[in-house]
């Protein structure tokens, strides 16, 4: 299938990557209802790891079965499905070739008191499971951030040699950051920029709030203001931090909320030139028909 000019343009940004990595980026970008548009909606299901099974799946118990997630991603027409090793292993053969998968390589859990994650899979797993990308979380500002980044460095290098793409979840947290700071605009843009500098192909961050948190940065934002009360301006600033828009950036949906709130956020991402959404709990905790409806509505915004 011929790639669209938009997807070809995006691939041209990744000029140092080998054709294998480009092919896997193309597979993700050409898949599903948004295939070819340069926008993406990704279904991520690592909440069972992060928050435990009941908090994740009790609202819609069909989700206890990992095959449900593949089905949901396929029915909704997502670009890719991201999950930890066990979830991917449980459906990778049944859905082989049906939808690009992103193997989430490290995970934390709510039983941990440290801001770190465990590596639970490797590049060899990604190859044997037919994944298009590996996913990795870093916590900029954590006291473990440098170790996490160094783990990512090794995995990313190996993944790129093997023709896989690298997706980085960049979630600031640590002793310097209170709850507000974790999603403050300056911190969010910084986290996205760090992921780009480490060599991420796709960057995932949380939607930025209007806060400016880092003292050292406040002077800059006063002198070169961003209209922090305008969501579009905020998303634009994060896009800008991703190499002036030359790296793919997607935004998480965050905690479960109402559909209209989600769609408004998506409209702002779309207007700002963000590349899409990665939508977990807001999707799989609803009954499937509702989830497909929401994901489809989101995609319609991105297609406009």
Residue with structure tokens 């991201």? 82
Report the phi/psi class of residue 257: left, alpha or beta, with left for phi > 0 and alpha for psi in -120 to 50.
beta
205: three-class secondary structure by DSSP? strand
Identity of the residue, 175 or 258, whose beta carbon is nearer to a second copy in the bound complex: 175
Give me the least distance between CB of 224 and a second copy, in Å please. 4
In the chain, how long is the greatest CA-to-CA distance? Answer: 55
Give me the least distance between CB of 67 and a second copy, in Å please. 8
Tokens for 56, please give them. Answer: 């994740």
If one asks whether residue 180 binds a second copy (CB under 8 A), the answer comes out as no
Identity of the residue, 194 or 278, whose beta carbon is nearer to a second copy in the bound complex: 194
Exactly one of 150, 227, 290, 300 binds a second copy (CB under 8 A); that residue is 150
Rg (CA), the chain: 18
What separation, in Å, do the N-terminal and C-terminal C-alpha atoms of the chain show?
Answer: 23
**# residues near a second copy by CB under 8 A:** 122
**Long-range residue pairs from 47-53, CB within 8 A, at least 24 positions apart, any chain:** 47/280, 47/281, 48/84, 48/87, 49/84, 49/107, 49/108, 49/109, 50/107, 50/108, 50/109, 50/110, 51/110, 52/109, 52/110
Has 204 been annotated as catalytic? yes
Q: Which of residues 257-296 bind a second copy (CB under 8 A)?
A: none
Q: Which of residues 229-248 bind a second copy (CB under 8 A)?
A: 237, 240-241, 243-247
Binding string to a second copy for residues 185 to 214, with x set by CB under 8 A, is what?
-xx-xx-xxx-xxxxx-------------x
Identity of the residue, 178 or 264, whose beta carbon is nearer to a second copy in the bound complex: 178
Instruction: Please identify which of the residues 22, 104, 160, 204 carries the catalytic annotation.
Output: 204
Identity of the residue, 74 or 263, whose beta carbon is nearer to a second copy in the bound complex: 74
Tokens for 235, please give them. Answer: 């998303």
Q: Which of residues 12-31 bind a second copy (CB under 8 A)?
A: 13-27, 29-31
Exactly one of 119, 263, 271, 292 binds a second copy (CB under 8 A); that residue is 119
Give me the least distance between CB of 264 and a second copy, in Å please. 25
Please state the separation of Cα 89 from the chain's center in Å. Answer: 20
Give which of 182, 40, 165 is closest to 105, Cα–Cα. 165
Q: Which stretch binds a second copy (CB under 8 A): 117-125, 259-267, 274-282, 290-298?
A: 117-125
Give me the least distance between CB of 252 and a second copy, in Å please. 18
If one asks whether residue 303 binds a second copy (CB under 8 A), the answer comes out as no
Tokens for 88, please give them. Answer: 């991917």
Active site residues: 204
């Amino acid at each position: 299938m011929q790639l669209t000019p938009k997807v070809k343009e995006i691939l041209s940004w990744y000029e140092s990557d080998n054709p294998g990595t480009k092919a896997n980026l193309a597979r993700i970008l050409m898949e599903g209802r948004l295939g070819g548009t340069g926008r993406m909606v990704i279904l991520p299901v690592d909440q069972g790891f992060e928050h435990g099974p009941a908090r994740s799946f009790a609202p819609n118990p069909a989700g206890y079965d990992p095959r449900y997630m593949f089905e949901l991603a396929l029915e909704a027409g997502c670009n890719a499905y991201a999950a930890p090793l066990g979830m991917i292993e449980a459906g990778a053969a049944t859905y082989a070739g049906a939808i690009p998968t992103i193997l989430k390589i490290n995970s934390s859990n709510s039983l941990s008191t440290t801001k770190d994650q465990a590596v639970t899979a490797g590049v060899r797993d990604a190859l044997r499971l037919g994944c298009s990308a590996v996913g990795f979380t870093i916590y900029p500002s954590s006291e473990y951030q440098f170790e996490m980044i160094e783990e990512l460095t090794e995995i990313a290098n190996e993944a790129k040699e093997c023709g896989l793409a690298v997706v980085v979840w960049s979630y600031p947290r640590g002793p310097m950051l209170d709850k507000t700071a974790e999603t403050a605009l300056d911190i969010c843009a910084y986290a996205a920029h760090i992921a780009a500098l480490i060599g991420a192909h796709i960057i995932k961050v949380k939607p930025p709030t209007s806060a400016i948190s880092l003292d050292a940065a406040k002077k800059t934002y006063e002198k070169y203001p961003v209209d922090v009360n305008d969501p579009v301006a905020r998303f634009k600033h994060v896009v800008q931090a991703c190499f002036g828009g030359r790296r793919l950036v997607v935004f998480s949906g965050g905690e479960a909320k109402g559909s209209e709130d989600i769609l408004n956020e998506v409209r702002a991402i779309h207007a700002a030139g963000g590349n899409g959404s990665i939508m977990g709990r807001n999707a799989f905790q609803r009954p499937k028909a509702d989830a497909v409806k929401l994901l489809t509505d989101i995609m319609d915004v991105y297609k406009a």
